[in-house]
Chain A
C-alpha cells in the first residue's frame, strides 16, 4: 500500500489523526495533514482505509500495490 495526501484539499478536521495516528499527523502551525508513513505496514491498512473514507476533504488517496 502506498498513501498520498493533498494538502490543498485538507480542511484540518483531524479525522486521520484520530483514526490512524501512526500514519498521519497535523502541522502545529496550520493544522494541515502531514504524512508520517507513505508506505504503512499491513497492520495499518484497515485504519488507513478508514481514515481515507472519513476524510471530509478527500485529501487522502490509498494506492493498493
Chain B
C-alpha cells in the first residue's frame, strides 16, 4: 500500500498524457506511467480531446476502482473518458452491451452468456483448439520459412476458434477482421469507425436473424433463440464477442511469442517444463498488458480513493499495465519470469466486468504458445528486432507483423 507521503502533488495534466509515448523497451509501460506508479498512483492526466481525468496506476487503487460500482462503465454518463474519437462515436450509435452497462442491465445481458464460457465447457474444447492450432501451424510450415506469424498463425487461430464457438462462418474472416481493425484504430476518423461498426452490425443482425429462424447449438444460435432478447441486442453482443474474441488473443499470441524470443532462457523453460504453460501464460498476460491504454470509468458519486477525493462526473482511467508491474504485489515485476505466481494480474480487468472469455483466452494461449515453441525449436525472428512495428496506434497493443523463421 502506498503511504500518504508517497502521494506527491498531482501532476500537471499537460505533463501526463493518454496515450503516452513508450520508452526504449516495447514491453514496458510508458516511463511516465511507471513514474506515476512510484510517486502518485492516483493523479491527473490529459486526454487527446483536451479533457483531463484521474490516472490510476497502483495495483491496490486499480482494484479499488474496478470493484466499486460507484465507478460506472456506462459511457452514456457525462464525463465518461473516451480513448479516441472512434470510441466516442460508437457510444452515440451502438446498442449498448454488457461491457458498457451497469447493475441489473449488465447482469441481465452477461448472464445470458456466462454459461457458455464456464471453465469446464472451455476445458472440453481443448481437443478442438489443439486441432485448430496444429492445422494452422501445419499450413504455416507448408508455406515455408520465413512467414508472418501474425497473419499465418496468431490471427487465424483465435478467429477459427471464436467462429466455431459463436457459429460465424470463417469464410467471412477477411470482412470481419478488416472491420475489427478499423474499430480499434485510435487514429481512424470517427466517420470511418462508424461505417465499420454499421457494416459489422448489419452483418451480425443478418446472421442472428437467420439463426433466430433456424436455431443451432452455437453460442449465437442459442442467444438468438431466446425470447427475452431483441435482435438488435443479440447482434450487438455478437459483435462484441466476435471482435473481443479474436483481436485480444491474436495480439497476446504474437506479442507473447516475441517476448519469449527476446528472453530465450524463458522460452527454453517453456519447452523443457511441460506443466509450465499455464503459469507462463499468466506471466505473459501480466507482463505485456495488451489493454495498454487502460480501462475507463466515470465516477457517478463522490468517492474517496485511497485518500484522493474523486468527484461525481470525473473520468478515471485504470492503467492495468502499471498495476501489473506494482512491486507491492509483483516483486521484481519488470522482469519476465514464467515461473512466477502472476495470478493477481489485471490483464482481464477486475470487478464484474472482468473478461467473460478469459477461460477461452487462457486455453487458446496455453495451447498455441506451447505447441508453437515445441514444434518449432529453431523459431527465431526473420527481421532485425529494431524493425518491428508495434500497435501503439491501436486500442489493443501488439505487433503489426512478426516475420519469423524456423
Contacts and interface: CB of A to CB of B under 8 A. Distances in A.
A50 B66 CA distance: 18
B67 A18 contact: no
A53 interface: yes
Interface string A36-65: 000000000000001001101110000000
Interface stretch (B77-85, B259-267, B350-358): B350-358
B187 interface: no
Q: Which of A14, A17, A50, A57 counts the most chain B CB atoms within 10 A?
A: A14
Given A12-B356, A13-B358, A56-B354, A32 B114 contact: yes
Contacts of B139: none
Contacts of B343: 19, 50, 54
A31 B351 contact: no
A9 B106 CA distance: 12
The 3 A-B residue pairs with the shortest CB-CB distance in the complex, in nearest-first order: A12-B114, A31-B114, A56-B354
Given A31-B116, A54-B344, A14 B359 contact: yes
A57 B355 CA distance: 12
Tell me whether chain A's interface is mostly helix, strand or loop, or mixed: loop
Chain A interface size, under 10 / 10 to 19 / 20 to 34 / 35 or more: 20 to 34
B135 to A, nearest CB: 27
Q: Which of B116, B348, B352, B358 counts the most chain A CB atoms within 10 A?
A: B352
Contact of B358 (A14, A27, A29, A30): A14
Nearest to B112: A30
Interface residues of B, number: 27
A31 B358 contact: no
B115 A28 contact: yes
Nearest to A14: B119
Contact of A30 (B111, B349, B359): B111
Contact of B351 (A26, A29, A57): A57
Contact of B349 (A50, A54, A56): A56
B110 A12 contact: yes
Contact of A26 (B66, B118, B348, B356): B118
A11 interface: yes
Contact of A31 (B107, B117, B350, B354): B117
Nearest to B343: A54
B248 to A, nearest CB: 15
Q: Which of A12, A15, A18 counts the most chain B CB atoms within 10 A?
A: A12
